[in-house]
A = this chain, B = another copy of it.
Amino acid sequence: MIANTPHPPYYAVIFSSIRSQNVEGYSEVNALMNQLVFKQDGFLGMEAVQSELGVTISYWRDLESIKRWKENLDHQDAQIKGRKTWYSHYKVRIAKVERDYAFTT
């Protein structure tokens, strides 16, 4: 689903990743993170697509809410497991959405 975000400005965190071969424990932690992130103050929506490359974009009200989510203890634990186990490479980009427009049939 395309995230139903409010009028700009708001923030996007673009997480682009290449997985390792090791998926041990991934599904459980990913499901938990999805549950938790939706409860975060300032969270506006998410878009996630996975093929060889994974791209997850989460949308946020402001930099403070992004920072709080990054520092969430369960999320920190998941980040450590991610670097140890599930990802061979990733890049995180924090971007301010200045403008958006939509098309629908």
Contacts and interface: CB of A to CB of B under 8 A. Distances in A.
Interface residues on A, range: 35 or more
A32 interface: no
Given A16-B2, A18-B2, A100 B105 contact: no
A53 interface: yes
Interface centre among A17, A51, A54, A104 (most CB of B within 10 A): A104
Given A2-B91, A5-B93, 20 more contacts: A2-B17, A2-B89, A3-B16, A8-B93, A14-B14, A16-B47, A20-B105, A47-B55, A49-B49, A49-B50, A49-B51, A49-B53, A51-B51, A83-B103, A87-B105, A93-B100, A94-B97, A94-B98, A95-B95, A95-B98
